[in-house]
């Protein structure tokens, strides 16, 4: 059951020119229910009616951490919060990643990177073999890579301009990773005894997720994606954050998602 | 203690706070935060004869002290509501108002028959949805069509019928008088006001449907004015709504003439808003020394 409460900002850190990290004293009632890929809905000042949905980066004890970039007035306001300030937080909300896989590749693009850190940490501490593929616009946007190195078996970084890691898109890293895996076919004699195929979990811009989903489908690898949509209530009552499914139905990002199996999603615009 | 009970068109509400259609689903979500029995009534998500998927996203845009939405009556259809949602709602001690939208008068009539038989407490006839192409708003902007739909809804219902009016008209009292004349037991207003926002960077409207309906504190003064005008034009009780986010807002609508008040968009910012508004309204009643909160209704002293 989600909790709505006023929380103290325990720590406010600027990660780079664009990204901010807030660690919030949300209490164990909230953290004990939290799972990877869920989000919190944060009120950004009295004059803005709608809360802002921000994915959970990490949590421990009674603390929960969110990382966000300034995108508009709401996140601008949020970026000015300091340790000791109070925030109205509603969460945890939504349906997160299924972490039952033994081997996984976490894929993050830009501001889609922070929630994947929570996934990487939780899966690694549960004994899974975790690899990370992270894409950033440039060196200036890079964040959290040290934390990924700590919990992942491998980590690759790529950037649009090559100023950090290789030059290119994160999809290329996914494609390479999958190409180097044993094939997924259960009836393939050559693969018998090889490690089970990985599961890919991704968060980032829709175009990136579409490409990652296509690469996974081509390799027969399961893929979970975290989607974004303009949101209202955050709990599934107002029905504004609709997303189209491959079967022609419409689901809601806040309640049915934000994490969906890539095969469920209608990727056509 | 101010008695919060109100009799609304023959339906006994334990308090005058209602949650309006489209902001509260079928109660399951906000029922995680408080006991639905705390409310006077729940107007359920707008129902249509068949399931509707609604409009493509984005369906919401923030505005100064408000929001625009273009959900487009997404709902599972009246039969699925009766089979799966109504029994769940009935587990709570709260009045259930079924909100309906149709493309033809016959569709309204058919839904009224089914919902009356299923045992809802009241039917709210939506003739004011700004987000659908056929029916909806078209019925709400022409007095004779509003009357025709009201008449068939009344004829097909065994429970009180309330008609929800659109503010997107020149003279709302014309429509109010038309539906009262056609037998409406109550009137609810205001539905959302049509609006539009454009992303300056892309030149694209934020809503995929280009336009949508405005709600939130920004519309409160419009709601107060329209409730006041309608209260002066008809005798049937009014469910007032539009931008209520605190007890004083609810009191304003009651002073303007509302017998009950709905708290909608405010829930998106504060999941406990309807219960908080009820408590704040109760405190206002006590401060004014009112025996019954109904004493506020129509109490405005215009200049």
pLDDT digits (tens, 9 = 90+) for B12-53: 999 999 999 999 999 999 999 999 999 999 999 999 999 999
Residues A219 and A113 in one domain: yes
Smallest CA-to-CA distance from B19 within B257, B298, B250 is with B250
Closest Cα of chain A to B155: distance in Å? 31
B185 with B160: CB under 8 angstroms?
A: yes
Q: Is A250 helix (H, G, I), strand (E, B) or coil?
A: strand
> Chain A contacts of B61, Cβ < 8 Å?
230
Inside any domain, residue A98: no
Residue ending a domain, among A69, A93, A117, is A93
For residues A40 and A112, membership in a common domain is answered with: no
Nearest-neighbour CA in chain A from B41: distance (Å): 16
A50 vs B22, B23, B268: nearest CB? B268
Judged by a CB distance cut-off of 8 A, whether residue A129 touches chain B is no
What percent of chain B has a predicted confidence (pLDDT) above 90?
Answer: 93
Q: Is A216's pLDDT higher than 80? A: yes
| B43 is known as an active-site residue | no
Q: Flag whether pLDDT at A196 surpasses 80.
A: no
Q: Would you state the pLDDT for residue A193?
A: 52
- pLDDT tens digits for A147-181? 999 999 999 999 999 999 999 999 999 999 998 87
Residue A49 has pLDDT above 90, yes or no: yes
Q: Hey, what are B299's tokens?
A: 């109490």
Query: In this structure, is residue B303 part of a structural domain?
Result: no
Label residue B131 by pLDDT band (50, 70, 90): low
- By percentage, how much of chain A surpasses pLDDT 90? 90
* Residue located via tokens 């020394």: B289
Cα–Cα dist B289/B273, whole Å: 24
DSSP conformational letter for B294: G
pLDDT category of residue A84 using cuts at 50, 70 and 90: very high
- Say whether B53 and A250 touch across the interface (CB within 8 A): yes
The pLDDT tens digits for B45-91 are 999 999 999 999 999 999 999 999 999 999 999 999 999 999 999 99
| Same domain flag for A175 and A248 | no
Chain A residue with minimum CA distance to B267: A233
Residue B115 lies inside a defined structural domain of this protein: yes
Residues of B in contact with A231 (CB under 8 A): 60
Does B208 reside within a domain? no
Total number of domains constituting chain A: 3
Q: Chain B residues with CB inside 8 Å of A255's CB?
A: 29
β-strand B186-189 against B238-241: which pairing, if any?
parallel
DSSP notation for A79-132: HT--TT-EEEEEEEESB------SEEEEEEEGGGHHHHHHHHHHHHHTT-EEEE
ω into A92 cis (within 30 of 0): yes
On whether any CB of chain B is under 8 Å from the CB of A242, the answer is: yes
Cβ–Cβ gap A242/B67 under 8 Å: no
From CA B274, how far away is CA A3, in angstroms rounded?
Answer: 17
CB contact under 8 A, B62 and A2: no
Residue B215 neighbours by CB under 8 Å, 6+ apart: B66, B67, B69, B192, B193, B242, B243, B264, B265
pLDDT value at residue A187: 56
Contacts of A43 in chain B (CB under 8 A): 269
Is there a domain that residue A218 lies in? yes
**Is A75 part of any domain?**
yes
Contact B29 A236 (CB under 8 A): yes
Range B263-276 average pLDDT: 97
Per-chain mean pLDDT for chain A: 93
Write the residue in A50, A242, A244 that is nearest to B62 by C-beta.
Answer: A50
Q: Considering the domain boundaries, does residue A258 fall inside one?
A: yes
User: What's the rounded mean pLDDT across residues A71-91?
Assistant: 96
CB contact under 8 A, A241 and B57: yes
Mean pLDDT, residues A114-121: 96
Q: Annotated catalytic residue: which of B86, B127, B129, B230? A: B129
Q: Which domain holds residue A185?
A: 103-226
pLDDT number for residue A195: 61
Q: Does A43 touch chain B (CB under 8 A)?
A: yes
Confidence of residue A47 (pLDDT cuts 50, 70, 90): confident
pLDDT of residue B128: 76
pLDDT of residue A197: 81
Q: Do A69 and A175 belong to one domain?
A: no
- Report CB contact under 8 Å: B268, A232: yes
Banded pLDDT at B140 (limits 50, 70, 90): confident
Please state the rounded mean pLDDT for residues B129-137.
60
How far is it, in rounded angstroms, from Cα B81 to Cα B51?
10
Residues of B in contact with A2 (CB under 8 A): 32-33
Q: How far apart are CA B214 and CA B208, in angstroms?
A: 15
Decide if A62 is inside a domain: yes
Contact check, Cβ <8 Å, A230/B67: no
Residue span of the structural domain in which B50 resides: 6-55+70-197+214-296
- Supply the pLDDT for residue A191: 53
Interchain CB distance below 8 Å, B33 and A49: no
Structural domain contains residue B204: no
- Whether chain B has a CB inside 8 Å of the CB on A222: the answer is no
Same domain, A262 and A202: no
- Statement to judge: residues A18 and A58 lie in one domain: yes
B34 occurs within a structural domain: yes
Contact A4 B33 (CB under 8 A): yes
Structural domain count, chain B: 1
A264 and A191, same structural domain? no
Do A138 and A150 share a structural domain? yes
* Between B130 and B274, the higher pLDDT residue: B274
Report CA Rg, chain B. 18
Q: What is the ipTM of this complex?
A: 0.91
| pLDDT surpasses 60 at A192 | no
Band the pLDDT of B110: cuts 50, 70, 90: very high
Contact B65 A49 (CB under 8 A): yes
Residue B28: closest CA among chain A residues belongs to which residue? Answer: A237
**So what's the pLDDT on residue B278?**
98
Chain A residues within 8 A of B270 when measuring between CB atoms: 4
Judgement on whether residues A89 and A178 belong to the same structural domain of the protein: no
Dihedral angle, C-alpha A268, B202, A208, A89, nearest 10 °: -100
Task: For residues A40-68, give the mean pLDDT.
Answer: 95
CA distance B100 to B77: 10
Choosing from A93, A128, A149, the residue where a domain stops is A93
Contacts of A52 (CB under 8 A, 6+ apart): A41, A42, A44, A68, A74, A75, A78
Model confidence at A269, in pLDDT bands (50, 70, 90)? confident
Predicted confidence (pLDDT) at residue A258 exceeds the cutoff of 60:
yes
The domain spanning residue A161 has which CATH number?
3.40.50.80
Report phi then psi at B190, rounded to 5.
-110, 150
Which residues from B are below 8 Å from A241, CB to CB?
Answer: 57, 59-60
Residue B231 domain flag? yes
The answer to whether residues A220 and A247 belong to one domain is: no
pTM exceeds 0.90, yes or no: yes
- Where a domain ends, among A46, A73, A93? A93
What is chain A's alpha carbon radius of gyration, rounded to the nearest angstrom?
18
Q: What is the CATH number of the domain that holds B23?
A: 3.20.20.70
Q: Give tens-digit pLDDT for B209-253.
A: 999 999 999 999 999 999 999 999 999 999 999 999 999 999 999
* B130 — pLDDT class (breaks 50, 70, 90): low
Whether A23 and A65 have beta carbons less than 8 Å apart is answered as: yes
Mean pLDDT value across chain B = 95
* Predicted confidence band of residue A189 (pLDDT cuts 50, 70, 90): low
Q: Is residue B209 part of a domain?
A: no
Q: Which of residues 86-105 of A touch B (CB under 8 A)?
A: 90
B156 found inside a domain: yes
């Amino acid at each position: 059951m989600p909790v709505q409460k006023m929380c103290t900002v325990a720590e406010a850190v600027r990660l780079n020119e664009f990204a901010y990290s807030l660690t919030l004293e949300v209490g164990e009632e909230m953290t004990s229910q939290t799972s990877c890929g869920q989000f919190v809905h944060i009120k950004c000042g009295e004059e803005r009616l709608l809360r802002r949905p921000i994915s959970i980066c990490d949590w421990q004890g009674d603390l929960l951490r969110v990382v966000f970039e300034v995108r508009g007035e709401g996140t601008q306001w949020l970026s000015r919060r300091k340790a000791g300030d109070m925030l109205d937080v509603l969460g945890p909300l939504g349906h997160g990643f299924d972490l039952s896989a033994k081997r996984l590749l976490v894929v993050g693009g830009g501001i889609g990177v922070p929630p994947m850190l929570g996934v990487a940490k939780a899966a690694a501490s549960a004994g899974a073999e975790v690899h990370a593929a992270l894409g950033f616009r440039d060196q200036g946007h890079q964040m959290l890579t040290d934390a990924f190195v700590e919990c992942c078996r491998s980590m690759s970084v790529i950037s649009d301009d090559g100023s950090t890691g290789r030059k290119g898109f994160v999809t290329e890293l996914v494609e390479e990773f999958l190409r180097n895996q044993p094939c997924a076919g259960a009836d393939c004699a050559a693969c018998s005894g090889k490690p089970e195929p990985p599961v890919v979990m991704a968060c980032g811009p829709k175009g990136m997720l579409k490409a990652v989903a296509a690469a996974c489908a081509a390799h027969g690898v399961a893929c979970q994606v975290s989607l974004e949509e303009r949101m209202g209530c955050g709990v599934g009552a107002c029905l504004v954050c609709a997303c189209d499914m491959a079967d022609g139905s419409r689901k809601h990002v806040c309640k049915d998602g934000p994490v969906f199996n890539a095969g469920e999603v209608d990727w056509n615009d | 203690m101010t008695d919060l009970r109100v009799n609304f068109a023959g339906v006994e509400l334990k308090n005058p706070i209602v949650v309006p259609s489209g902001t509260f689903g079928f109660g399951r979500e906000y029922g995680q935060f408080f006991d639905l029995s705390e409310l006077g009534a729940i107007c359920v998500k707008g129902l249509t004869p068949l399931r509707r998927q609604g409009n493509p996203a984005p369906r919401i845009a923030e505005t100064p002290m408000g929001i625009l939405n273009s959900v487009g009556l997404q709902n599972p259809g009246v039969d699925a509501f009766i089979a799966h949602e109504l029994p769940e709602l009935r587990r709570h001690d709260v009045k259930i108002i079924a909100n309906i939208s149709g493309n033809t008068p016959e569709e309204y009539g058919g839904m009224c028959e089914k919902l009356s038989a299923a045992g809802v407490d009241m039917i709210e006839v939506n003739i004011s949805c700004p987000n659908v192409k056929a029916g909806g708003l078209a019925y709400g902007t022409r007095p004779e069509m509003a009357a025709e739909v009201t008449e068939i809804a009344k004829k097909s219902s065994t429970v009180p019928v309330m008609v929800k009016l659109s503010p997107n008209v020149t003279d709302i009292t014309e429509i109010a008088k038309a539906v009262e004349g056609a037998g409406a037991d109550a009137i609810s207003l205001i539905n959302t006001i049509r609006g539009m926002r454009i992303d300056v960077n892309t030149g694209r409207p934020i809503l995929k449907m280009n336009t949508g309906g405005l709600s939130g504190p920004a519309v409160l003064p419009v709601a107060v004015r329209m409730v006041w005008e309608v209260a002066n034009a008809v005798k049937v009780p009014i469910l007032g709504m539009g931008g209520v986010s605190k007890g004083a807002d609810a009191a304003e609508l009651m002073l303007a003439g509302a017998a009950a008040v709905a708290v909608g968009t405010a829930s998106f910012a504060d999941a406990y808003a309807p219960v908080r508004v009820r408590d704040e309204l109760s405190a206002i009643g006590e401060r004014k020394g009112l025996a019954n909160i109904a004493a506020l209704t129509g109490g405005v002293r215009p200049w």
